[in-house]
Each structure stands twice: as C-alpha cells, then as structure tokens.
A and B are shown apart, each in its own frame.
Chain A
C-alpha cells in the first residue's frame, strides 16, 4: 500500500447499501469496511450508542476466534488508547482507530493526537459529543473539540448534519492515510449517533482542494530529465550519503530505498523515526544520525559531498544548526511527499515532491537504462573505517549494570527481528543505538513530540496488530510511571508483551542536561527517595513474571528467562544512575562539536569542545 494512494476505496456496491441503520451502526460498519480489526477506547455517556453498536456488531460477526470481529480494547486512561492505536498503526501501517466519549475522554486524547500528527502516523479518533441541542451550553462533559483538536490534528470534523455522517467517517479514513498521513478527529453528537437513515455504502465528502493537491503529488512523476539531473549530481559526487527519515517507513518505501541504495552503493543513515528503513546490520548502514546518533554516522554526514534526504525534514535534533549541517555537501537532494518540507529548514539544490518508492524506482530504472555506473569504493572503505574506529561503546568494567549491556543482551536474542517500543529519554536513545533493526515498523517511539508514557500502550497496540511478533517495551522508571495504569491492560488481555524498566531513579536525560548545562543542580529530576516498588506493582497488575535484576553477574541468564517467558513479563533492571547517553551533539551545536564520552573514540578531543556554550533547548 502506498501512503498516498487511496487504495481502499469502497466497492461500487456495498452489500448493505440501501439498508436502514443508526448513525452508530454506520460508524461501526465503516470501521470494519476499512479493514480495521481492533478499536481502542474508553466508554462514557456521549459515545454509548456507538459502543452499543460495536457490541451488537461483534455478536453478529463473531470473527475467527469467536470474540468478535472488532474487539474494543479498554485502557486505563484514554491517552493509553491513543498510544495503543498509534502502536498498532506504526507496527502495521493500518489506521489506528480510537473511540472515546466527550469532554475529558476527548481531551485526554489531545497528546496522542498531537504525537501522531508530529510523527505522521495515521489515526482516526471518533469522539462522542453532547447532543447537538446542548452544544455551547457548557453541558456536562462538553469540551470544544473542534477548536482544541483543530490545532493539533491533520483535520477535524464536527458532524452537524446526520445525513453527512457516513461520508464524513469514510472521508476521515481517506484523509488519515493519504498524502502525509496523520490523525483525523470526528466529533459526533449523541443525537447524530442515534439518528436513523439509509446507508449509502460508498459516499464521501467533497474535499476538492485536498484531493486536487493530492492528485498533483500523485501525478508528479520523475521524467528522464529529472532522473538525469539527479544522476548528474551523483556522478559528480565521491561521497554520497542517504539521510532517510520517518517518511520512508510511513510511506512503505523501505524496500525501494534499499534497492536504490544497493543499486548505486550509497551508504544510508536514518533519523530516529527512520530506523528500520535500512537493515542496520548491513555494511553500508550507518544506523542513526543526530543529537545522539552514532559518532560514525555523524562523521559521515560531515564528510559526505552529496546528501540525499529521503522523506526526512532536517529536524532540530538532526540539524541543530542547519547552515552547518553536512558542511561539505556540494549538493543536497530532497525527496518528500509534503511540499511544505522543501526549503523549510534547509534549502536544497535538487528536490522532488512525490511518492517516494515510485520516484526512487524511477531513478534506478533510468540508471539501468542508460547504464549508469560509478564506483564509490574509496568512500565505502572510509565508511567501514569510521564504523570500526568510532563504534559505540560503554563502561564494560563497571560493577554496576550498564543500560547498554541490557539492550545488547536482549538484542543478542532478538537479532533485529523484535518490535521495540520505548518511552522518552535516555533509555529511548540507548534502545535506538544498541538494538538492530532488520525491517521497518519494528521501532515504535515518540520521535517528534517526545511523549513519556508512550512505551507500554504502544507495545499493547503493536501486539494486537502483530500477534506473530515478539514485542518488547524498553522503558524508563519515569516514563513508565506516566501510563503505569496500562500495565494492567497487558495482563487483562493476556498479551505476551515484555516490559523492561531501566531504573536509574529519576529523569535520566533531564539529569544529563542538568549536569551539562545547569552545574549539576538536579531540580526535580531525582527520584531516589521515591518508594515505588515496580516489581510488586507489576505483580499486583497480574504479571506472573516480575523480576528485579541488580546483579551484573545474573544479567544474561535473567534476560534469557525474561525474553523466553510465555506470556506477559516484567523486568526491572537497576542500572548505573550516572550512565549518560553518548555521543551527544549539544542542542544548537553542529556535528563538529559532538562529544563522545570516555568510551567512544572521537576525531578530536572532547576537551576542545565546550558543550555548555549552546542555545539550550
């Protein structure tokens, strides 16, 4: 499926066309028609008609396991439902679907909606709303959802005319998954859910501007002259580098990008969101770049003379100083599906707005046709040397358990095939650095928004979407607290999710910055006096395997037991509280100012670099 193509258009004649249905029944029918096999949400007064319709739908459509074709998964808090849907969507590429009630139910979804918009994740949120006649009266559980969500979602609808409900829900899915994907919110007053009318089966809203602009992008194919001008830049280059962003994963273009990279022999580095776009175990994969990217990836960015940005957006965690990013690149090429990303942060010499997999394939096809050949062997040797000389490393001799070692031990078992979700902070960066990823859609993380509490619910949603996969949440003690209620959701549904808490008794990344930029004043980031017993908490929530690991000697054996446990498993690891994330490019600094710590070889001395001189943000 291409993200842009509206590939799931309804057949001309829906088997239920012409049938009399309630608004609630129409909503449920369209969700099922969209190929969605699980809905996440929390009930309440204003959404009751639709929850009742789901119940009746599942009674009539028991599904293969008899539990209903559209199971409704209930979180502890609506935010959990939102991140479950995001995890489901990120892991499968389908549109994560959430159904919540009005007022607090809907406002609890603001964070996941913004998170999904910022990471371009398709989602449809159906909110109950107070009855039409009560809107604007400050009714019980009323909140102005179109206004609140309007500034964070890709689009918002309030259904004021029940005859447009069916077309609106179908159009919401279309908008969510086409173009640059994102979350679409549909606010449905209770009387609209209770209304009855004739089901049309294929109706869609008129959105002429959106569809016209989408068509323009779909029609924008690379012709021979475009391919030639790109290859001209490549032929002038000795050190080309692909910088692949989240759009490669979201646009299902990983396979095309790998073909492209292999055809020309171009090394690939990915953003945090692009992890898995290339197979990180490959020789020409440089894994992640950026603020906490691999030293060798960042050096390669410094060295490259032609940077090819594939669905990446020069975010401040990658290009802290845009004008000093890739300083030796004589040319930059930029592919994106969103015209607004071109020249937004960094102006480029060659760009194309279009559908990535098709465009990359077009260049490969043209290159084959004209027998394009250019060897980058010297560059490959340099890349290999960078990887060898500036490899990740950490304090292997310490008596304390290092977080890096925990992830290495898990990775030795999972070998780049497991789905990994995370919270936000140091553990997120260690996981990004030390895990291998052979495929896209295995790495689920809140990249742009950086939402703590993402890990557990995202793992739940991913497990529903990919029951065949091992799903592991790598979390921090502070991040997991944010949505700790969802531990119970894991056991309620008997999901074999594995949860690791790397406990350093505080907000580790905040402390790392406070040590660097605030003379070590640990304002509100230390949790060493907190009395939380995570293992007992997990046991209380029904985890039969819940273990604390604080003995380095037992690391490998415990990890093997934990990963191999059949069913939900929880592991708290007491890690070195002073472990820091390296390499680090300070905020507002360029890659030449990167510090690599005591265990990763730097090109210069860290002592020459003043990481504190920065516009910290």
Chain B
C-alpha cells in the first residue's frame, strides 16, 4: 500500500543523507521525496512517498524515529489528509491558442505559449496529474515533464511537534 509520510527534520549536515540512507540500507523504496525549509530556519519539512505492507511501514516509522535529527513524523495515510503535486510540462504543439484555452479550462496555468516551448503548470492530486499529463499529450508532444512529488497535509487540527513553533498562539508568549 502507498503511504505518504511527513517528517520534520533538523537542518544538520548529512541529515538528508542519513534519512535516504536508512531507506536504501533497510531495503525500502522511496517513490518521491520533497524537501523544503519551514518557517523555522533550523527545521526542514520532508514529504516522502513509499509503499509496503503494514508491517514494513510500521518498521519504517520506527526506524525514522531512531534518527536523531528527526523532530517528528506522521504517516498521513493513516488519517484523512490532502495531497498535492505540482507538474511543469514543456510541449511542442501545433496550435498554441487552442491548447491555451484547453489548459485554462482544465485548471492549468500557461507559463509560456510560444510554439517551440509551450510551458504549462498544473497542480493536483497524483492521479489528477497523471490524467492531466495523459490528456495534454493528445494535444502535443510532451518533451519535458517535471513533477514535484507529493506534498501532504493532514485534515483537521493535527500538527507535528515542532510545527507549533511557527504558529504564534494568542495569549501565549515565547513559544
């Protein structure tokens, strides 16, 4: 089963290597991995997509929790959550005008509409992105496809420990 895991990690030298190294040394697969800074400059947020049995995922979670740099982690797939992925596509097209209109009607943004490098941005769930890529391929030849991999956020009030630091709470000083 596919799992989307969100990890908050301290920005230490080699931290990302240790995390990805854990997956390769223990024989787990990473389908996609996204890393970016948070509002706290000392902490990065990772969203990684992996797959495996429930037992394998339980081990992955426990092993991630053994990494000293990991502040907190959560398997989004265990609860209700949203997933979004950004795709950038470059196409060679015959009719830029028609395709521009088609893109806008399908919720994509056209970044550059010259015939030689028609460039589009699309965001959505992973399945939506797959469908969009397949559909736009019927209007022209996709020559470059850049996908961000999934980003996830849980529905409701749940946050990871460490995220709270970035959210000032009224009436409480010095979080």
Q: Using a CB–CB distance below 8 Å, which chain A residues touch chain B?
A: 146-147, 150-151, 154-158, 160, 175, 206-210, 212-213, 338-340, 343-344
CA distance A338 to B66 in the complex (A): 9
- Majority secondary structure of chain B interface residues (helix, strand, loop or mixed): mixed
- Cross-chain contact of B66 among A150, A160, A340 (Cβ < 8 A): A340
Inter-chain contact B63/A209, CB cutoff 8 Å: no
- Cross-chain contact of A147 among B17, B25, B63, B69 (Cβ < 8 A): B17
> Contacts A151-B25, A339-B62, A340-B62 hold; do A209 and B68 have CB atoms under 8 A apart?
yes
Q: Mark interface residues in B47-64 (1 if CB within 8 Å of A CB, else 0).
A: 000000001001100110
Cβ-Cβ contact count across A and B, 8 Å cutoff: 55
What residue in chain A is nearest B16 (Cβ atoms)? A150
Inter-chain contact A209/B14, CB cutoff 8 Å: no
Which residues of chain B have C-beta atoms less than 8 A from A207's C-beta? 10, 68-69
Interface centre among B12, B63, B161 (most CB of A within 10 A): B12
Q: Using a CB–CB distance below 8 Å, which chain B residues touch chain A?
A: 8, 10, 12-14, 17-18, 21, 25, 42, 55, 58-59, 62-63, 65-66, 68-72, 161-162
What residue in chain B is nearest A154 (Cβ atoms)? B68
Inter-chain contact A208/B71, CB cutoff 8 Å: yes
Which residues of chain B have C-beta atoms less than 8 A from A158's C-beta? 13-14
Which residues of chain A have C-beta atoms less than 8 A from B68's C-beta? 154-155, 175, 207, 209-210
CA distance A344 to B65 in the complex (A): 14
Inter-chain contact B25/A209, CB cutoff 8 Å: no
Inter-chain contact B18/A151, CB cutoff 8 Å: yes
For the complex with contacts A175-B68, A207-B10, A339-B65, 19 further pairs of A-B residues with Cβ separation under 8 Å are A146-B13, A150-B14, A151-B18, A156-B18, A158-B13, A160-B13, A207-B68, A208-B161, A208-B162, A209-B10, A209-B65, A209-B71, A209-B72, A210-B68, A213-B65, A340-B62, A340-B63, A340-B66, A343-B55
Which residues of chain A have C-beta atoms less than 8 A from B71's C-beta? 208-209
What residue in chain B is nearest A175 (Cβ atoms)? B68
Inter-chain contact B161/A151, CB cutoff 8 Å: no
Inter-chain contact A212/B59, CB cutoff 8 Å: no
Inter-chain contact B58/A343, CB cutoff 8 Å: yes
Interface centre among A156, A209, A338 (most CB of B within 10 A): A209
Inter-chain contact B17/A150, CB cutoff 8 Å: yes
A-B contact pairs, 20 of them (CB 8 A): A146-B14, A146-B17, A147-B17, A154-B68, A155-B68, A158-B13, A206-B10, A206-B42, A207-B68, A208-B161, A208-B162, A209-B8, A209-B10, A209-B70, A213-B65, A338-B66, A339-B62, A339-B65, A340-B65, A343-B55
CA distance A48 to B71 in the complex (A): 35
- Cross-chain contact of B59 among A157, A175, A340 (Cβ < 8 A): A340
Which residues of chain B have C-beta atoms less than 8 A from A151's C-beta? 18, 21, 25
> Contacts A155-B68, A208-B162, A209-B72 hold; do A344 and B14 have CB atoms under 8 A apart?
no
What residue in chain A is nearest B55 (Cβ atoms)? A343
> Contacts A175-B68, A209-B69 hold; do A156 and B58 have CB atoms under 8 A apart?
no
